Amino acid sequence: GENVEQHPSTLSVQEGDSAVIKCTYSDSASNYFPWYKQELGKRPQLIIDIRSNVGEKKDQRIAVTLNKTAKHFSLHITETQPEDSAVYFCAAQPKLFGSNNNDMRFGAGTRLTVKP
Amino acid sequence: KAGVTQTPRYLIKTRGQQVTLSCSPISGHRSVSWYQQTPGQGLQFLFEYFSETQRNKGNFPGRFSGRQFSNSRSEMNVSTLELGDSALYLCASSLAGTRETQYFGPGTRLLVL
C-alpha cells in the first residue's frame, strides 16, 4: 500500500513570507494528490489538487508541484497571511479501483503558523 | 446547496458497545467516504461507498463496517468498541469518488470509556 511522509511537522513564518510543505509517497501507481487545510476545530477543506499528468498547478497564492520520478510533491504558499494558519495535510491515492490497496493515504500534517 | 451533515456530533460509549454514525452527503453526490482522525494516527481512510456499493476499503478491522442507501446517505458502524476507537470520524462526499473534490462533514467525535 501507499505510504506518505510529510515535512515539516510544524512551520512558523512571518506574514508575507512564503511557506513550503513537502510530501513523499511510495506507490508509483499513485496519480492523484490533494492538499487539505484544516483550521482548529473545523473540517478539512480541499485547497488544491494535482494529477500525475501535470507537473505544476497554481491557484492564486497557492501552488503545488509534482515530481513523479522522485515521488514527491510540494505545497507552496506565497505572501502568507495570518488566516493561512492551520494544519495542512497532503494525500496520495493510487489509480486502481476495486482494490483493497486503493485507499487514500494522508501525510501526518503540518501545523503552519503565520505571525503578523 | 446544503453541506455534508453528520449525526450525532458527539457520542460517549463504553468498551464493548457498538455505535452507528450517519452521514448525509451534498445533494447529487453519489460517493461517500469515511475517515478516522486521531492525534496519534492523523487522518486515515476507512472506506468509500458509491451507488450503495463499497468501492474502496482502508486497513481497518472488520469491526468497522458501513453501508450506503439509495438516497446516498451512509452509515458507519463500529462494533465491540475499544478505547483506541476514540476519534473524530469524518465523512466526505463527492460527485463520483475520492479523486474529485471531496467536501467534508463536521465530524462525529466519539469517546470510548
| Chain B residue set in contact with A, beta carbons under 8 Å | 33, 42-45, 55-59, 90, 92, 98-99, 101-107
- Quick one: pLDDT at residue A85? 97
In this complex, do A43 and B44 lie within 8 Å of one another by their Cβ atoms?
A: no
> Do B83 and B110 contact (CB within 8 A), yes or no?
no
The rounded mean pLDDT for chain B is 94
In this complex, do B101 and A46 lie within 8 Å of one another by their Cβ atoms?
A: yes
- Quick one: pLDDT at residue B37? 95
pLDDT tens-place string over residues B18-67: 999 999 999 999 999 999 999 888 899 999 999 999 988 888 999 999 99
Residue A99 φ then ψ, to 5°: -120, 145
Q: Could you please report the per-residue DSSP string of B57-113? A: E-S--TTEEEEE-TTS-EEEEE-S--GGG-EEEEEEEESS-TTS--EE---EEEEE-
- Quick one: pLDDT at residue A25? 95
Dihedral sign for Cα atoms in the order A93, A20, A108, B47? negative
pLDDT tens-place string over residues A6-54: 999 999 999 999 999 999 999 888 889 999 999 998 999 999 999 888 8
Amino acid letter at B96? A
In this complex, do A49 and B42 lie within 8 Å of one another by their Cβ atoms?
A: no
- Quick one: pLDDT at residue A96? 57
Which residues in chain A have their CB less than 8 angstroms from residue B103's CB? 46
Q: What percent of chain B has pLDDT over 70?
A: 99
Inter-chain contacts counted by CB atoms under 8 A, chains A and B: 49
Closest-CA distance, A15 to chain B, in angstroms, reads 27
Residue A102: which pLDDT band, with cuts at 50, 70 and 90?
low
